[in-house]
A = this chain, B = another copy of it.
Amino acid sequence: MTALSFELLAQDGAARSGIIRMERGSVLTPAFMPVGTAGTVKAMLPESVAETGADIILANTYHLMLRPGAERIAALGGLHRFMNWPWPILTDSGGYQVMSLAGLRKISEAGVSFRSHIDGSEHFLSPERAMEIQSLLGSDIRMVLDECAPYPSSEPDIERSLALSMRWARRSKEAFAQAGTGACFGIVQGGVYLHLRQRSVHELSAIGFDGYALGGLAVGEGQGAMFDVLDATVPYLPAEKPRYLMGVGKPDDIVGAILRGIDMFDCVLPTRSGRNGQAFTWNGALNLRNARHSDDPRPLDTACSCPACRAYSRAYLHHVVKAGEIIGAMLLTWHNLAFYQDLVRSLREVIGMGAVKPFAARFLERYRGGDVDEGE
């Protein structure tokens, strides 16, 4: 009995569509997971997140362990009940945020000690504690603790870091095996060094996980280097397990990664951009702060059926964004999440029809062409 099963439904070149089945629900792949950092997908009610088509969200172990605390959430019935999201949740291990947010980090073989960016309090995260926290949260897919090396890093530094991450992956798997619930994904590291990436794939496959993530990408290496890593890595991952590209990305990153065989994504871009007045459309990204929208009666995107596009003009969205009104963040976040779900849904469909390549080419042409009559 495994907590997660993955069925491939169609393949089109390297691209694939499938279904991940878990106790709390199924996830159609390719899937985009909205980010619910601190127990909320920012500026959204969870039922609205589901309405966009999302069937799984991501939550951040780092943020939740610091506030309100994993033991507290467990006492309140677990994360799903706490945040009113009854469907699957994937939690990261906290490793990435420790590197990017926390103060006074100290990494040892045992784990990483650090200070909270919220109140300066001291904390320790080990592979075992990361698994324990994710178990307390009750997450459906748990990630191993890894070390996220900065970009750029030298090959010897990445090789040392990778070796530690692989030892931590083994300990994570052992700790996970004792928890008895959920599923556990390993994380491929190795920076932009393709032979290290392949070594990482080999070692993780030998340990055996319910799915395989690619970490340490979208950290500044550029889309070309990222795609090179995918090309050199994805073919060696177990075909019968889901593949998850962590923290990616822009719409064209996602399309390119799906063409290369990735099944799952998460990214703060649609939510963060929504709070900053930026909207994603089939004709590229729009900045609603721009004065050219101030008298425009058209909807954001005529192809979209989200509340922002159904009932509001660009002029209104411009107004509320400029005025700093919360509804601006609410509507643009909703739109962006709906757009990301529409995008992966379209890709699932064209993969099923064997037409992913022409679709991707048309998408990229239109997306990079920009907003038709305006040329921002």
Contact = CB atoms under 8 A, between A and B. Distances in A.
A82 B323 CA distance: 15
A312 interface: yes
Given A43-B327, A68-B318, 9 more contacts: A39-B319, A44-B327, A45-B327, A45-B331, A75-B295, A76-B315, A76-B316, A82-B316, A326-B330
Q: How many chain copies?
A: 2
A294 interface: yes
A99 to B, nearest CB: 21
Interface in A317-368: 318-320, 322-323, 325-327, 329-331
B83 A316 contact: yes
A315 B45 contact: no
B294 A327 contact: no
Contacts of A72: 294-295, 315
A307 interface: yes
Interface of A: 38-40, 42-45, 67-68, 72, 75-77, 82-84, 275, 294-295, 297, 307, 311-313, 315-316, 318-320, 322-323, 325-327, 329-331
A311 B38 contact: no
Contact of A325 (B38, B77, B294): B38
B76 A325 contact: no
5 contacts: A38-B325, A76-B315, A82-B315, A84-B311, A326-B329
A75 to B, nearest CB: 7
Contacts of A315: 68, 72, 76, 82
Contacts of A312: 84
